Structure 1
Amino acid sequence: MQSLSQWRDRAEMLTPPFPWDRPRWRDRGGETVVLLHGLWRGWRAMQPLARALEAEGYSTLNIPYPSARLPIGTLANHVRSHIEKVANDRPVNFITHSLGGILARAILSEDPSFQTGKVIMLAPPHGGSEIVDWSKNHPLLSLALGPAGRSLGTDGAPSTLPFLPEGTEAAVIMGNRCSIPLFKGLLGEQNDGIVSAERGRIAGLSGFTVIDADHTFIQMHPETIRLSLQFLKDGTWPA
C-alpha cells in the first residue's frame, strides 16, 4: 500500500510543466547534481530525488526544458547554459530520466567547460524506443512527440550521438514493470511500458540494473534512490 507521502510524490511528479518554470538551484555545499526530466515532464518529476540528494548534502540543479518543442541539439544548449551559471570547482554529476539521458550524452560529447562527475541515467532510450517507431505512423501522436521525441526511434538520434567520453563513470537503471498493456506487445521481454530494458545499454557503463519499476515513476523508487546515492558516494554498483 502506498503511503500518504508516496501519493504526494506521485501527484507532484505528474504536475505538468508551466511556461514560467525556472531552474531550481539548491546549494547545500556538496557536489552538484544536475537533474534532467524526460519528455512531456517538468522539474517536479525529479523532486523526490532532489530532496533525497539535498538531505545527503548534495547541491541540486533541477532544470526544466521545453522537451516537446525543440530538437535535441537546441535543448542540450539550453541545459548547458544553465549548468555553466552554477558550475564551480566541484564536480558536476547528472541524474537523468528518459530523454534527459540523451541530452546528457549530447552535452558531454562537446567537451563541457565544467568538471564532469558521475552520470546516472534512469530508463534512457539509448537504443531508441519501439513506441516512438509506432507513434510516428499516427499523425497526432507524432505531432505530440515534438522534434526531440520523434528523434528517439530505434534508428534515431540516440544511435548517432557519440558514446559518453572515455573515463566517465556512468550507470543505468531500467524498469521492468509495464503499466501500459497497449504497448507491451511492441517492446522487448523486459520493459517499463515505454523503453525495452536492453535498449538502455550503452558502451562504457560502470553499472546496469533492472528494477521493478515503471517508466513514469522510476525516479521515486527506493532502489533508484539507494543505488544513486551509493554510486555518487563511492562509485560502487552491485554486481
Structure 2
Amino acid sequence: MHEGVILLHGLARTRRSMRPLAAYCKRQGYCVVNAGYPSRRHPIEILAQSVIPPAVAALRRQGVARIHFVTHSMGGILLRAYLAVQIPANLGRVVMLSPPNQGSELVDCLCRFAWFRLLFGPAGCQLGTAEEASPARLGPAAFPLGILTGNRPALGLSRFFPGPSDGKVSVARAQLPGMADFLVLPCGHSLIMRHRLVQEQVTHFLVTGQFRR
C-alpha cells in the first residue's frame, strides 16, 4: 500500500508555495494532498479543524497505509492544534519547516499595529511568544517529529531576534520538546521548502525517522 503526505502551507501563503515540495514527494512515490486554507480569516483552532480532517479523509479514500505531514511555518501550529484533539490511527511521521513552535519575537513586535492585524488576521497574532499564545498552550510533541529550520534571515530582519533566525522564527524557538531530530540549514524562512537539500531531508526523515548527517 502507498504512503501519503499532507502538506500544510504557512500564514498568508497558498498551496502554490508548497507545489515544488509536493512534486518532489510525488516523485518519491508518495500520494500527496497539498492542502490550502484561508490562513488570514480565522483563528488557528478553526483553521486546523477545517483543513486537516478533509485532507486525511482524501488520503484514506486512496487506501494509504500511513499518513505523514509536512508543514511550513504556521502550518506546523495548525497540525499541533489538530493532533492535540485527535491523532489519526495511521499517523506516520511529521516534518516541520521553520515552525514557530515557541512563538516568534517578530510577531511580538508587530501584532500591536493595526495594519499587521488587518493584513494577517486573527491567526497572525496567535503566534507570539507569550504563555497565552497558541504555540505555548499546545504542549510537547507526542508524535514522531523532525524539525528543519534556517539561519539566513532576509536583510534587516535579524535585529528582531536575540540569536540566529531565519528572519521570521528564531532557531531556538523553532524547537519543540519531544522532537526526534532537529537540523539547521542555510536557508531563509519564506523559500525553505523550495531548496532541494531541504526536500531530500524531508523524505529522508519520512523514511528513517532522522535527518541525514
- Is structure 2 residue 189 aligned with structure 1 residue 212? no
- Structure-1 separation of matches of 2:209 and 2:53: 27
User: Aligned to 1:48, which of 20, 29, 53?
Assistant: 20
Contact 2:4 2:64 in 1 (8 A): no
Distance apart, 1:114 and its partner CA:
4.2
For structure 1, the 5+ residue unaligned runs are 1-28
Distance apart, 1:39 and its partner CA:
0.4
- CA deviation digits over 1:69-101, x for unaligned, max 9? 100110011122312422245111000000000
Counterparts of 1:150-169 in structure 2, within 5 Å, are 150-155=125-130, 156-165=133-142, 168-169=143-144
- Normalised by the length of structure 2, the TM-score is 0.93
Letter of the aligned partner of 2:43 in structure 1?
P
The size of the alignment, in residue pairs, is 208
1:151 aligns to what SS in structure 2?
A: helix
- Is structure 2 residue 179 aligned with structure 1 residue 202? no
User: Aligned to 1:66, which of 12, 15, 38?
Assistant: 38
For structure 2, the 5+ residue unaligned runs are none
Counterparts of 1:55-204 in structure 2, within 5 Å, are 55-86=27-58, 87=60, 88=63, 90-155=65-130, 156-165=133-142, 168-181=143-156, 183-204=157-178
2:127 aligns to what SS in structure 1?
A: coil
- Structure-2 separation of matches of 1:94 and 1:148: 20
- Structure-2 separation of matches of 1:158 and 1:47: 26
Identity of aligned residues (%): 36
Contact 1:92 1:114 in 2 (8 A): no
After TM superposition, which residue ranges in structure 1, 4 or more long, deviate above 4 angstroms?
none
- Structure-2 separation of matches of 1:231 and 1:92: 14
- CA deviation digits over 1:157-210, x for unaligned, max 9? 100113222xx21100011111141x2111132111111111011011111011
- Structure-1 separation of matches of 2:68 and 2:148: 16
Contact 2:56 2:67 in 1 (8 A): no
Going from structure 1 to structure 2, the CA distance change for 1:195 and 1:115 (only over 3 Å counts) comes to same
Going from structure 1 to structure 2, the CA distance change for 1:207 and 1:43 (only over 3 Å counts) comes to same
Letter of the aligned partner of 1:227 in structure 2?
Q
1:20 is matched with: none
Letter of the aligned partner of 2:167 in structure 1?
G
Going from structure 1 to structure 2, the CA distance change for 1:52 and 1:84 (only over 3 Å counts) comes to closer
- Normalised by the length of structure 1, the TM-score is 0.83
